[in-house]
Structure 1
Amino acid sequence: MGRGSRVTPTSIVHLPDECLFLIFQRLDNSSDRNSFGLTCHRWLQVQNSCRKSLQVYGSHQSQATSIFNSVNLYKLLQRFRELESLSLTGCMELPDSILAEVQSYGTKLRTLRLDGCSDTSDYGFSLAVSSCSFLTLISLDRCKISDDGLHTVARSCKMLKDVSISFCRRISDSGIKSLMTYCHQLRSVRASHCSSVSGIGFEGCPQSLTHLDVGSCRLEPEGIQGILSGGGLEYLNVSGRTQVVHGDDLAFIGAGLGSRLRTLNFRLCRTVGDLTIMVIARGCPLLQEWNLVGCDQIKFSGWDSIGSNCKNLERLHVNRCRNLCEPGLRAIRDGCPRLSVLHINRCPRIPNAALELFRNHREGRVEIDPREVLCIAPTCISPNCREHQRRH
């Protein structure tokens, strides 16, 4: 530097935004990250831009955790403009102005959860998703969305992979058909307790659909064939189905298109008999977990078929199976080499001595769990599963 030249003072505030982004991303202390934006408005903008996820608890939560009101929520959405994941779970009274603000995230938004937003109209949902064409997950459990609203969602968000619409009473097969028509990358659909869904809307579903929950829906025989039509299912929940129209129509599951199934939930399907069990046991050789809680019409032929054919079975739920007998338990014991957990309780024809013989024969390699299975997680029907415990 020549004599007489002046040195321009520099400081951290002269760093370009790219450097400030790198600094913020490398902060591993939550206190430092939270106080980063207190330095100046420019640093606050950097902090806001780095925020990719926002979860707002609605008014149904405890007052200590609830931050929901329209003014606060609007300010939050204005502040964080680069969100990829947004959850407004339980915000029951969402004004259209708030849902319109979701549009501003455009193609950046990937995940949207509006569970329990019970007063939101179809028009409100259409405002929220109209510009979010790259959404891959949307959850609308316990909402008042109708078939028209779901049609708008499907048409606007063709990249959807995971959809949850459980307890949406206004959804029928017409709305499901919209999803199958427009969303060709679907891999998971949760539509349990949708009483107007018979299953026929799933006809022609993509092969990418591997996880399907239609528990407590009014499935018809044609609907059973519809949900299997894609041929890619690995997880299927049809629990709570009690009506039978034409005999053991659930036997369709073992007729070929369900050959990839690894997890099957028949909990409280009280009309399931031996014929259904035998067809499925032969037709679904990859089954690893089978929930038969409350299926008290299964007799020895069914249990014997499980033992003879389900060589990959690792977890079996037989609570409250009143016709499970000692020979049936023996068939499972001798025929399922990979079985590691047996959920068994309130089976009146199985004495404790039989369970001890079961343990001893398998040299302690089987855990006998007497607890009931009261509900299921999206990808597991075992109460010992960490994901299950986290959600319930």
Structure 2
Amino acid sequence: MGSLSSSLDDSIGLGTLQLTSKTVQEERSKDDEAHPCKKTLSITDLPDECLGLVYHSLKYGTDYSSFGLVCRHWLHIQNYNHESLLVNIDLHTYRLCQTPKISSESFSIILCRLLIRFQHIRFLSLSRLPDVTDYIASQSQFFGSEVQFLSLKGFYEYSDKKLSLIFSPFPRLTSVCLSSSHITDKGLEILAKSYASLQKVDLRDCRKITDRGLEVLAKNCASLKEVDLGECQRISDRGLKVLAKCCASLEKIDLRYCCRITDHGLEGLAKYCASLKKVVLAGCQGITDKSLEALAKCCASLQKVDLGHCQRISGQGLEVLTKRCVSLEKVDLNGCKWITDSEISSLLKNCSKLHSLGISFCSNVTGIGFHGCPKTLTTVEALNTYNLTTEGIKEIASVGGIQYLSLMGDAVNDEAVITISKGCPLLKSLWLECVDEVHLEGWKAIDLLPEDHKRQQKN
């Protein structure tokens, strides 16, 4: 791989600057001297920072490949500016698709060559790829050291040793995704002791992680800001309390379906992590109004809360939360059967910054609680809200700023659809299900024929 000649760093991270090659410049100079009235200019006369901007403005994977095939110099530009190596994603990526024909040895060689070629990769995703061998360790000294985000999602068959073999070459890691992997407390300990500056860790559905592993992570990585422990069935209040005490700067935590988390753990979390902005508690059946009261008391900066399918909390607890946490922007109440129009009205009254509300499967909501809701509301999800009425849909549409709307049920009729078409001028996405009561008049109101809608649903 050729080296870049200049070392002038630019302010936007595109790397060093270099003009066109010396040989090309000399040839053009001679031509310009022979024809003083004719100056030869081309895109290759642009400095590297401009070519880098051109490269970053490309939209499709094939365009990135074509860019590097123009000439050797442009290949260097590509190598220097390519920042992402992901799996099965076209944008800004090179694709490594899993295939049963590729051996672990071959895959390890291919991966090493790519990491050696692209020295400035910051985002590396190797989700569900073939096994790796020790060959990667022998080549790691030649890798670039700028990788900050590493995803090893879905590595079911990887042992702790294999996982550590992959993330060990990247000293600047700040974010790691290990969701749905078989990492154990031992592997988490290796990770925590190697990367004290970690800020984000995704351990969702890591069934082998226990309180012990979480405690080691918390004690070694005090700078953690985001932690996803969703579906980690072996995590309890004990581990959560240690995490809260050691990581006071925590801003986002996902505890969805953590069946062993109760009010005791949430009270400790709220007490020590006052700067929390996002809390996901969906499916936590050990949570009651006490948890909401603790969050309301200590976490006034809360912006997003997911209480989906939490059956042991009530409207009283929700009201306490919304009165204190007035900065709430997104609230998910999907599946909370205790929610009524009264709670919706109180929520919308207290939270003037709210822009997203989920009330799917809330069977006691008719929609009239949306009367007078804030103009900031842009997203409403109300699927399987069986008591939703046409009048309720009119109240939702009357907001005026709705951009994303999902509805389902008999109340979705011609009158409701026509009201939506007139009352939601900013609408970008309308998802309708079970629309037997919508006829040609309704479809015309939103410029969509019934056949077109059915085709969209099928896709």
Normalising by the residue count of structure 2, what TM-score does the alignment of the two structures yield?
Answer: 0.65
Q: Which amino acid aligns with 1:33?
A: G
Mapped pair 1:209 → 2:234: no
In the alignment, what sits opposite 2:291?
250
Q: 1:26 aligns with which of 38, 41, 51?
A: 51
Give the alignment of 1:37-56 within 5 angstroms.
37=72, 51-56=82-87
Provide the C-alpha distance between the structure 2 equivalents of 1:366 and 1:55, rounded to a whole number of angstroms: 34
Normalising by the residue count of structure 1, what TM-score does the alignment of the two structures yield?
Answer: 0.75
C-alpha displacement of 1:311:
2.2
In the alignment, what sits opposite 1:138?
176
Mapped pair 1:220 → 2:262: yes
Q: 1:294 aligns with which of 311, 329, 335?
A: 335
CA, structure 1 residues 288+79, in 2 after alignment: closer, same or farther (shift >3 Å)?
Answer: closer
Q: 1:114 aligns with which of 141, 152, 170?
A: 152
Q: 2:305 aligns with which of 260, 264, 272?
A: 264
The percentage of counterpart residues that share the same residue type is 22
TM superposition outliers: structure 1 runs of 4+ over 6 Å: 43-47
In the alignment, what sits opposite 1:73?
108
The SS at the match of 1:11 is helix
Mapped pair 1:182 → 2:220: yes
The SS at the match of 1:279 is helix
Provide the C-alpha distance between the structure 1 equivalents of 2:138 and 2:177, rounded to a whole number of angstroms: 18
Provide the C-alpha distance between the structure 2 equivalents of 1:324 and 1:126, rounded to a whole number of angstroms: 50
In the alignment, what sits opposite 1:309?
350
Q: 2:324 aligns with which of 273, 279, 283?
A: 283
Q: Which amino acid aligns with 2:121?
A: E
Contact 1:60/1:90, CA 8 A, preserved across alignment: no
The SS at the match of 1:370 is strand
C-alpha displacement of 1:149:
0.9
Provide the C-alpha distance between the structure 2 equivalents of 1:135 and 1:150, rounded to a whole number of angstroms: 14
Mapped pair 1:157 → 2:169: no
In the alignment, what sits opposite 2:392?
354
CA, structure 1 residues 289+48, in 2 after alignment: closer, same or farther (shift >3 Å)?
Answer: closer
The structure whose RCO (Cα within 8 Å, separation 6+) is larger is: 1
Q: Which amino acid aligns with 1:239?
A: A
Q: 1:192 aligns with which of 230, 244, 251?
A: 230
- Figure out how many residues of one structure are paired with residues of the other and give that number: 351
Provide the C-alpha distance between the structure 1 equivalents of 2:82 and 2:364, rounded to a whole number of angstroms: 56
CA, structure 1 residues 72+47, in 2 after alignment: closer, same or farther (shift >3 Å)?
Answer: farther
Contact 1:92/1:119, CA 8 A, preserved across alignment: no
Contact 2:157/2:182, CA 8 A, preserved across alignment: yes
In the alignment, what sits opposite 1:322?
363
Contact 2:108/2:132, CA 8 A, preserved across alignment: no
In the alignment, what sits opposite 1:84?
121
Map Cα deviations across residues 281-326 of structure 1 (whole Å, 9 max, x no partner). 122110011010110023465334314422222221111112225x
Provide the C-alpha distance between the structure 2 equivalents of 1:57 and 1:67, rounded to a whole number of angstroms: 16
C-alpha displacement of 1:108:
3.1
Q: Which amino acid aligns with 1:11?
A: T
The SS at the match of 2:298 is coil
Q: Which amino acid aligns with 2:258?
A: C
